[in-house]
């Protein structure tokens, strides 16, 4: 009887150790993933020179990770994705932090999860060709104020810095120019559409607090960008 029990226990222990060994072997197995070679700012395209393939233990792979260069570049090395949030050096490249270039999903798709879009209507001639989607700008408010004698003064002050432009007119961050036979016609149509308007809407990615600052400043004065 004792011999049978000893054999049974030995089998249990052997099975447990074998399972434990397989578990550690699986966890120790290394898999190729794509990581940021350098800091990638929000709005930047994921180009081959800013990422690299490395091997990491399988247990450290994050969900939705991209594993090879081929997944982020098209023919002739053309980037397929843009970062919608900053990606730190050494961080794994996840599809949840990227936006497919050329996707017709509108402004909502490119707003970072911790921010919101704030739109301002501007005179077209003042901003046309100066700022584009993806640019970082400082926002300057020009406000009027009066002294004790009732004299009017004008003061310009930078109220926000390094703000990401999400859209200008009908151009949204992440859109790419069409190629092929219809490219010229589509480009001309978009240009003519914006040309028909005397004003353009500029959308920015801001925090809740920054949106309050912009709302107050835009209601009391004029906003410009640099």
pLDDT surpasses 50 at 197: yes
Rounded to 5 degrees, φ, ψ at 140 are -115, 130
Mean per-residue pLDDT over the chain, rounded: 77
Residue 180 has pLDDT above 80, yes or no: no
Half-sphere exposure (CA, 13 Å, Cβ side) for 55?
5
pTM: 0.57
pLDDT in tens, 96-149: 888 777 655 567 777 777 888 888 888 777 776 788 888 889 999 888 878 887
For residues 218 and 120, the answer to whether their CB atoms sit within 8 Å is yes
Distance CA 71, CA 32 (A): 13
Look at residue 83 and tell me whether its pLDDT is greater than 60: yes
Hey, CA dihedral for 103, 107, 110, 113, is it positive or negative? negative
Q: How far apart are CA 12 and CA 116, in angstroms?
A: 57
Decide which of 3.40.50.360, 3.90.1210.10, 3.30.70.260, 1.20.1050.10 is the CATH code for 29-101: 3.90.1210.10
Instruction: Give me the pLDDT at residue 190, please.
Output: 46
Residue 43 has a pLDDT of 76
Q: Which pLDDT score is estimated for 125?
A: 76
The tens digit of pLDDT for each residue in 24-53 reads: 555 568 999 999 999 998 778 888 899 999
**Domain segments of the chain: what residues?**
29-101, 103-226
**3-state SS, residue 57:** strand
């Amino acid at each position: 009887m004792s011999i049978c029990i000893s054999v049974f226990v030995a089998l249990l222990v052997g099975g447990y150790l074998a399972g434990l060994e397989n578990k550690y072997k699986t966890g120790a197995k290394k898999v190729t993933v794509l990581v940021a070679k350098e800091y990638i700012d929000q709005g930047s395209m994921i180009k081959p020179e800013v990422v690299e393939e490395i091997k990491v233990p399988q247990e450290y792979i994050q969900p939705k990770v991209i594993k090879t260069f081929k997944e982020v570049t098209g023919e002739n090395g053309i980037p397929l994705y843009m970062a919608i949030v900053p990606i730190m050096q050494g961080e794994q490249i996840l599809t949840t932090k990227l936006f497919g270039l050329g996707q017709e999903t509108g402004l909502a798709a490119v707003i970072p999860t911790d921010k919101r879009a704030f739109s301002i209507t501007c005179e077209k001639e003042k901003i046309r060709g100066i700022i584009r989607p993806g640019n970082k700008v400082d926002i300057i408010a020009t406000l009027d104020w009066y002294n004790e004698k009732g004299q009017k003064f004008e003061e310009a002050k930078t109220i926000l810095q390094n703000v990401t432009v999400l859209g200008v007119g009908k151009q949204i961050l992440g859109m790419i120019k069409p190629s092929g036979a219809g490219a010229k016609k589509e480009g001309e149509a978009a240009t003519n559409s914006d040309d028909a308007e005397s004003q353009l809407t500029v959308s920015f990615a801001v925090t809740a607090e920054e949106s309050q600052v912009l709302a107050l400043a835009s209601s009391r004065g004029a906003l410009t960008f640099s």
